[in-house]
Amino acid sequence: MKQTDRDKDWPFVTGIGAKMIEAGDARGWLYLFDSELIRRLASRFPLPETIVRQRPVLSLISANRDLFFDALLAEREFWQELNRERLSVYSAARRPFVRELRKLRPSGAMDVMADHRLRVACARDHLPQRPIRDFGVERIIEDARKNVARRYHPELLQWLPNVRPAFGELSN
């Protein structure tokens, strides 16, 4: 699921997508975030309908340039928001573990094996096995959509991808 949170990394994601398309792998369309490059590649390579269904923003390639550009930005922000939401679930899930571990650890040094046993026992008792599933994939997606809607015109949300498959079995 994670694309990247760093602005400087998105051109690399896009570059990999372009190389995939040029090598005949249509999945590369899923990783392009430069509107002009997408338009150029669309004039040279087929864009399968199955890919457009996965990534609706690609249906805007021949639309108004500004709309396509803005929809791509909103989609990129959506991926970043999803990642932030996902990480916040993991962060919240580990807090009881960290709190309890601090209580249980002796003030002096522990040998490595004793420290390991303590951490494993504490993790068994205080870390959820499936924090994303427990929190709810739909809730994560909805929170990310709401965050994007605060910064972008709500009309742009209609071109966001269905990201449930990115959560794999956690979506079930």
Which of these, 67, 45, 41, 66, lies nearest to 56 by C-alpha position? 67
122 belongs to a structural domain = yes
Count of other CB atoms within 10 angstroms of residue 140: 22
Arithmetic mean of pLDDT, 2-24 = 86
Is residue 63 scored above 90 in pLDDT?
no
pLDDT at residue 2 greater than cutoff 60:
no
Quickly state the pLDDT bin for 171 (edges 50, 70, 90): low
Q: Is residue 131 one of the residues assigned to a domain?
A: yes
Q: Give tens-digit pLDDT for 123-167.
A: 999 999 999 999 999 999 999 999 999 999 999 999 999 999 888
Asked whether residue 2 is assigned to any structural domain, the reply reads: no
Residue 79 within a domain: yes
- Secondary structure class of 162 (helix, strand, coil): coil
Statement: residue 11 has pLDDT above 80: yes
What domain range is 134 assigned to? Answer: 7-171
Domain count, the chain: 1
Asked whether residue 1 is assigned to any structural domain, the reply reads no
Q: Tell me the C-alpha distance between 106 and 104, whole Å.
A: 6
Q: For position 123, what pLDDT does the model report?
A: 96
144 contacts 114 by C-beta, under 8 angstroms: no
Q: Distance between CA 128 and CA 107 in Å, rounded?
A: 27
* Mean pLDDT for all residues in the chain: 92
Residues 75-130: tens digit of each pLDDT: 999 999 999 999 999 999 999 999 999 998 887 788 999 999 999 999 999 999 99
Structure confidence at residue 172 (pLDDT): 59
| Predicted confidence (pLDDT) at residue 3 exceeds the cutoff of 80 | no
pTM value is 0.86
Q: Is the pLDDT of residue 38 over 90?
A: yes
Q: Which residues contact 85 (CB under 8 A, 6 or more apart)?
A: 140, 143, 144, 147
Is pLDDT above 90 for 25? yes
